[in-house]
Amino acid sequence: MTEHHRFIREFEWRNQSKQYNILIAEFMLQRTKAEQVEPVYKKFLKQYPYIVTLSKAKLKSVEKYTATLGRHNRAPYFINAAKFVVHNWSGKFPESRDELLKIPGVGNYVAGAIMAVCYNNADYVVDSNIARFINRYNGLTLKGEIRRKKIIIEKSKKLFNVKDQRKFLFALLDFTALICKPINPLCPECPLKKKCKYS
């Protein structure tokens, strides 16, 4: 999969590995495009540079950001997650998926992303895009909520058995956004086309 590294896009949150920054980026990226998220993310972090700052934020001021992303009702997630980490762990993020999953609003994907990007220690990472790629590449033809299926998670575990999970995750996300796209994947120019079982 090393070929994928040439697809890597530059986004502000990819240049550092602070758990707080990744959490904010991932919360913002849920159902919003990365290009749209980037300017909002930068301003947000200027106003709330630390998790403690966010834990004390007023709902109305956070709503200004979530509204720009078209996700008005997401504001409480940001504040509640920050409050949880501050109150339970004095603002220090835990280093295990199970513990990260206790943070309100954090699901398997966000926990996996933090484990990969910040600790290089994710057993797997799956979002709907990664699941789609795994499904196609292995010729599985699964339908529905496939990212929760056991075989997808098993295949992701094998994929993430790499030295640099952070780089790999970003490359994989770019690959699934630009090449193995949801609709009309660019199979003729895909570097994996010879091994891929999608037809």
Q: Give me the 121-160 binding string for ligand SF4, x by CB under 6 A, dash otherwise.
A: ------------x--xx-----------------------
Q: Give the residue with the Cβ less far from ligand SF4, 79 or 126.
A: 126
Longest dimension (CA), the chain: 53
Measured from the CB atom, the residue of 112 and 185 that comes closer to ligand SF4 is: 185
177 vs 122: CA distance, rounded Å: 21
63 is catalytic: no
129, 177 contact by CB (below 8 A) = yes
Could you say which of 26, 38, 63, 145 is catalytic?
26
Closest CA to 45 of 31, 67, 25: 25
The type of residue at 126 is V
Token pair belonging to 93: 């993020």
Binding mask 163-182 for ligand SF4 (x = CB under 6 A): ----------------xx--
**Among 36, 60, 59, 62, CA closest to 47:** 62
Residues that are catalytic: 26
Judged by the rule CB under 6 A, the positions of this chain that interact with ligand SF4 are 133, 136-137, 179-180, 185-187, 190, 192-193, 196, 198
